[in-house]
Each structure stands twice: as structure tokens, then as C-alpha cells.
Structure 1
Amino acid sequence: MQQYKQATFAGGCFWCMVKPFDQYEGVINVASGYTGGHVANPTYQQVCAGNTGHTEAIQITFDPKIISYKKLLDIFWHQIDPTDSEGQFADRGKSYRPAIFYHNQFQHKLALSSKQALQDSGHFDKPIQVAIEPASTFYLAEDYHQNYYLKQPQHYHQYYQLSGRAHFLSEHWSKNK
């Protein structure tokens, strides 16, 4: 029997966070959803309205024998602006904040260590502002949000470009991959 693990990350719009993880061997599933709020089974409209306390996030099911949590953290950091705690790119507000939601003490320790390593690297002039919090209930987003990059590739690509994410990632991370 396989012993899969979960990793939960928030990095702005969940549409843009699925594809980067989906391409790696050992990643079993990447689901879009909402976490960290106080309303059970929130809808996209409720979360966007900003009064549920949820953050758009992805939950990754992975095989740690094939891909490590440390590698997932590395992929995560390279998808975001880690100095912006108020949202990501064109998406602003608490529901779009960057965060790492750890599922156990091992993940907590690695998340803290990776954040400190990024801060110490001097890669960014500003402090790293990504929250590291315990994982809580993860609610799946509506079906039309799941694997959006595959269901609506043209709209996804346009959004990825126009949100400012593509430019930022190219400018800040492309030479470090």
C-alpha cells in the first residue's frame, strides 16, 4: 500500500499554482481549494467577498519516495513573490496571501528552514513575508476551478501573463532553476 503525504500551499490565484506541481513525477494530485477560514464549505464567491477568512490554496498529494517535501517547497518558492504578504501579483487581499500550511512537525521544520534560507540568500532586498501555519480543513473548490490550466488553456495563459506573475517569475527566478 502506498504511503502518500499531503502538502498545502497558497500563492495567490490557485489556477496558477496547480500546473507547476502537476508536471513532477511523484505528484499524485493537485487540488484547488480553500483553507484557513471559519465558514464550512465556502463557495468561490464567498471567499472572494473576503468575509470567510479562507485563503485560496492548493493541496498536493505526493509520494515522498519519489518527490520530497523539500523539493515541493523549492517549487513553491519559485512560483510566488515571497516579499508580498498582501496578495500575489494582480490578486490582492487575504484570500490571495502566500502561505505554507504544514501537516506535521517535519513539514513545519522544513518550511521554517527553507524560509530562513531564502531570507539569508539575499535574493530579495525585502523581507520574506510568507506565513507558515498549521494546516486546517481544506475545502475543494468548485469543479470548474480544478485543473483550470487544462480545461481553459487560453484563458489560463492569458491570466498568467496579464496578472504579472509570468514577468515576475521570469525576472526573479528563471536563472535560478
Structure 2
Amino acid sequence: MVAIEFRHFKTGLLAALIAVGIGIQCHKAYAAESETLIVAGGCFWCVESDFESVPGVTGAVSGYTGGDIKNPTYKQVGKGGTGHYEAVRISFDPARVSRETLLNMFFRSIDPTDAGGQFCDRGETYRTAIFVSNNAEKSLANAVKAKAEQELGRKIVTPVLSAKTFYEAEDYHQDYYKGRKLVVTRFGPKRQAEAYKRYRKACGRDARVRQLWGSAAPFASGH
């Protein structure tokens, strides 16, 4: 009886180990399939909010990139002179949404004709850019840029740049658009989510994007 129970135990243990092994392999396969796209489109709260709504995007992280100062803070970047952009690292499943689709959406969610910032946010921190890691990504980004420029009928100044180290922004910037923390704003004390909505509208982001891109703007009609 004891021997039978032990055999059953070994059989169950083996099955459990096999299941765990399969789970690990599936997780590795999923991780290998995930890709990233880093873009700068003005306020990183807005870019993060826009792209986290896209099916196939598995996450978006606000941060800083493009400069040479290591581990920059929001205060440092905001003062200017660091070379860093407010940027967002978008993680996505290429089986569900392509890099080309995301790039097309990016151009149509910003004002790519403005070299001095975005909407009410001015200065080097808020310039637009696409960051690429290899020649294939560079060629694709430039092709999408040329297509967007032709559609818009105006010169696009958003550069395609070689990727540098991406530094994640402070925790309070992540998912700011849906935060519940009470913050003091020029509109008075507001929850982060409400403060974000008011800021976005006051900054004129969606109004300008609609003016430029009309019905081709993927996010402006939702705000």
C-alpha cells in the first residue's frame, strides 16, 4: 500500500514538474516575442495614456532619453540643458500590432511640424523624436515618416535618432493619467486622473492634432 502511494506521489510530482517546465517555456517564448518602441511626443503622460489603449500594447513606461546625464530627475530634465527628452518606452506584441502601425499612430498623435516642443509645452524636453536600435528600425521609421509627410502635405521635423539609455521616470509619473492621488493644480485640488484631463484639454493637444490630422488622428477624438 505504501509503495503504491509512493508511486502515485512520484507520478503526481513528475506531472507537476512537467507543467511548471511548460509554463516556463511559454513565458520565455512570450518574453522573446515582445518588442519595444521608444518615442518622444511631448508630455509623456499623454503618450503613455494614448498607447496603453492600443490592443497589442502590453505596457508603456514614462522616462527620459536622448541626453548624456545619467539617472536624470524630472527637475533636471525640466530645467533644460540635459539633452534628454520626455519619452515613453512602449512594449508590444508584434503578433497583435506591428511596429509600423504604432509608428503611424505616433505621427498622427503629435504635431510633427513643431520643432520647439509640443502644444503648450515648450523647450527641448518636449521635442518629438523616434529612437531606433538598428538599421531595420531606422529604415522603417524613415519610410513611415515620409508617408506621413506626404499625407500631411507639410514638412515633418521629428527626427529618427539612434537609441540611447532609457531612464525610467519617477514612480509618480507612471500611469499618472489614471492615478487617484490628490494633487494641487491651478484648477485647485484634484485627483491625478482629473488633473490630467484638465491639463490635456487646456494644453490644446487634441484640438491641434485634430486640426492637423482630422479623422486620421487615432486618439484625439477620445478626449
For Structure 1 versus Structure 2, the TM-score category normalised by the shorter chain is over 0.9
- Whether 1:65 and 2:95 are equivalent positions in the alignment is yes
Partner Cα distance (2:150, 2:98) in 1: 22
Partner Cα distance (1:113, 1:175) in 2: 22
What are the within-5 Å matches in structure 2 for residues 1-177 of structure 1?
1-2=29-30, 3-121=33-151, 123-124=152-153, 126-151=154-179, 152-177=192-217
Partner Cα distance (2:133, 2:199) in 1: 30
Structure 1 length-normalised TM: 0.94
Q: Secondary structure of the equivalent of 2:199?
A: helix
How far the C-alpha of 1:103 sits from its partner, in A, is 2.2
Q: Which has the higher contact order (CA 8 A, sep 6+)?
A: 1
Note the alpha carbon deviations across 1:43-90, whole angstroms, 9 max, x for none. 000000112110000001111111100011011012100100110011
Partner Cα distance (1:84, 1:113) in 2: 20
Note the alpha carbon deviations across 1:103-149, whole angstroms, 9 max, x for none. 2222211110011112222x24x411001001110000001110111
Partner Cα distance (2:196, 2:82) in 1: 26
Percent of matched pairs sharing the same residue: 43
Partner Cα distance (1:103, 1:148) in 2: 28
The 4+ residue runs of structure 1 with deviation greater than 3 A are: none
Structure 2 length-normalised TM: 0.76
Q: Secondary structure of the equivalent of 2:125?
A: helix
In structure 1, what residue type is equivalent to 2:69? V
Q: Secondary structure of the equivalent of 1:19?
A: helix
Q: Is the 8 A contact 1:7 1:103 kept in 2?
A: no
Q: Which runs of 5+ in 1 are unaligned?
A: none
Partner Cα distance (2:146, 2:108) in 1: 15
Higher helix share: 2
RMSD: 1.2
Q: Secondary structure of the equivalent of 1:46?
A: helix
Rg larger for: 2
Q: Which runs of 5+ in 2 are unaligned?
A: 1-28, 180-191, 218-223
Note the alpha carbon deviations across 1:17-37, whole angstroms, 9 max, x for none. 011110122111100000011
Partner Cα distance (2:201, 2:129) in 1: 22
Aligned length: 175
